[in-house]
């Protein structure tokens, strides 16, 4: 079904691997479409509770948009290209299931943007992040100017996006771009699974609403406090809320149904 990604559900965790290692997992249009289709199925599949996004091979997470494709873009197609990528990455960011990027090498341009659209990032020590688009006469088009600034602040975002310099995993962690750094991909994956399995034991509707409320911080047309109050009220209507509070009072573990 997929040509450029690997996609499998392992015990409730969707593993989405960008699989073009000979091109350092560069994102061509077809790959972006496949990510969209995969996320649609993540949205729809009740058996999936969390997602790990990574790159095939040992060298790269994703080395950016496929330069052989973008070299031909006209003004009109450039706009469509950016808007389409932004839409797919917004789908990742707004997903009600936690999404972690396991960054195993170069995360440049669209690769850094893909990682930043995920809710958390766990880096392997060889990871390198950057927005080198200015070297090509363009700028980030998949939300990079916005998300990088949200994550690390204006001064560093200016520096990274205007110099095109790469930053390594320890610096990325220091800046708040990544949550954790591990030596090996196996250790990084184990940490991703541990976080996702822990979240899977919580009330799923509440988890989804946490995602909406935190994302609302960065939406200028939305009052995040109002979103939070509405979400809180919505949680109070759920069976999971009754179950969570009852379980606490009865000194037992809650059994959440996502209802």
Nearer residue to ligand COA within complex by CB, 106 or 256: 106
Is the Cβ–Cβ distance between 56 and 19 less than 8 Å? yes
Give me the least distance between CB of 80 and ligand COA, in Å please: 16
Q: Which of 18, 65, 101, 213 binds ligand COA (CB under 6 A)?
A: 65
Is the Cβ–Cβ distance between 41 and 1 less than 8 Å? no
Alpha-carbon dihedral sign for residues 162, 174, 196, 212: negative
Q: How many residues does the chain have?
A: 259
The Cα diameter of the chain in Å comes to 64
Q: Tell me the Ramachandran region of residue 230: left when phi exceeds 0, alpha when psi lies from -120 to 50, beta otherwise.
A: alpha
Restricting to residues 5-24, name those near ligand COA by CB under 6 A: 23-24
Nearer residue to ligand COA within complex by CB, 63 or 167: 63
Q: Which of 16, 32, 63, 148 binds ligand COA (CB under 6 A)?
A: 63
Give me the least distance between CB of 70 and ligand COA, in Å please: 6
Give me the least distance between CB of 198 and ligand COA, in Å please: 34
Give me the least distance between CB of 69 and ligand COA, in Å please: 8
Q: Which residues are catalytic?
A: 113, 133
Q: How far apart are CA 114 and CA 103, in angstroms?
A: 10
| Three-state secondary-structure class, residue 3 | coil
Restricting to residues 164-193, name those near ligand COA by CB under 6 A: none
Please state, in angstroms and as integers, the Cα–Cα distance from residue 210 to each residue in 28, 100, 107, 136, 225, following that order. Answer: 32, 15, 27, 38, 12
Nearer residue to ligand COA within complex by CB, 55 or 64: 64
Residue pointed to by tokens 């797919």:
88
Nearer residue to ligand COA within complex by CB, 98 or 144: 144
Q: Which of 50, 55, 64, 204 binds ligand COA (CB under 6 A)?
A: 64
Nearer residue to ligand COA within complex by CB, 108 or 203: 108
Q: How far apart are CA 59 and CA 107, in angstroms?
A: 10
Give the contact letters, 96-135, x = binds to ligand COA (CB under 6 A), - = no: ----------x-xxx---------------------xx--
Give me the least distance between CB of 44 and ligand COA, in Å please: 31
Q: Which of 15, 42, 51, 66 binds ligand COA (CB under 6 A)?
A: 66
Is the Cβ–Cβ distance between 243 and 233 less than 8 Å? no
Restricting to residues 21-60, name those near ligand COA by CB under 6 A: 23-24, 26
Q: How far apart are CA 95 and CA 91, in angstroms?
A: 6
Is the Cβ–Cβ distance between 112 and 151 less than 8 Å? no
Contacts with ligand COA, residue ranges (CB under 6 A): 23-24, 26, 63-68, 106, 108-110, 132-133, 136
């Amino acid at each position: 079904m997929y040509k450029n990604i690997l996609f499998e559900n392992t015990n409730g965790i969707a593993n989405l691997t960008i699989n073009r290692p000979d091109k350092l997992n560069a994102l061509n249009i077809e790959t972006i479409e496949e990510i969209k289709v995969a996320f649609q199925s993540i949205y729809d599949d009740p058996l999936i509770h969390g997602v790990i996004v990574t790159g095939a091979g040992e060298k790269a997470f994703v080395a950016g948009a496929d330069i052989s494709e973008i070299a031909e873009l006209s003004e009109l197609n450039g706009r469509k290209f950016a808007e389409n990528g932004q839409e797919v990455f917004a789908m990742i960011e707004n997903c009600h299931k936690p999404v972690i990027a396991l960054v195993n090498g170069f995360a440049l341009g669209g690769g850094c943007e893909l990682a930043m659209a995920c809710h958390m990032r766990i880096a392997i020590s060889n990871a390198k992040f950057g927005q080198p688009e200015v070297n090509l006469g363009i700028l980030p088009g998949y939300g990079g100017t916005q998300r990088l600034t949200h994550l690390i602040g204006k001064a560093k975002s200016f520096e990274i996006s205007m110099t095109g310099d790469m930053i390594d995993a320890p610096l990325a962690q220091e800046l708040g771009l990544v949550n954790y750094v591990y030596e090996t991909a196996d250790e990084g994956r184990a940490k991703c699974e541990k976080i996702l399995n822990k979240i899977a034991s919580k009330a799923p509707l509440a988890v989804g609403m946490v995602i909406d409320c935190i994302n609302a911080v960065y939406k200028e047309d939305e009052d995040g406090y109002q979103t939070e109050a509405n979400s809180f009220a919505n949680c109070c209507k759920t069976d999971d809320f009754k179950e969570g509070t009852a379980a606490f009072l009865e000194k037992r573990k809650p059994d959440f149904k996502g209802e």
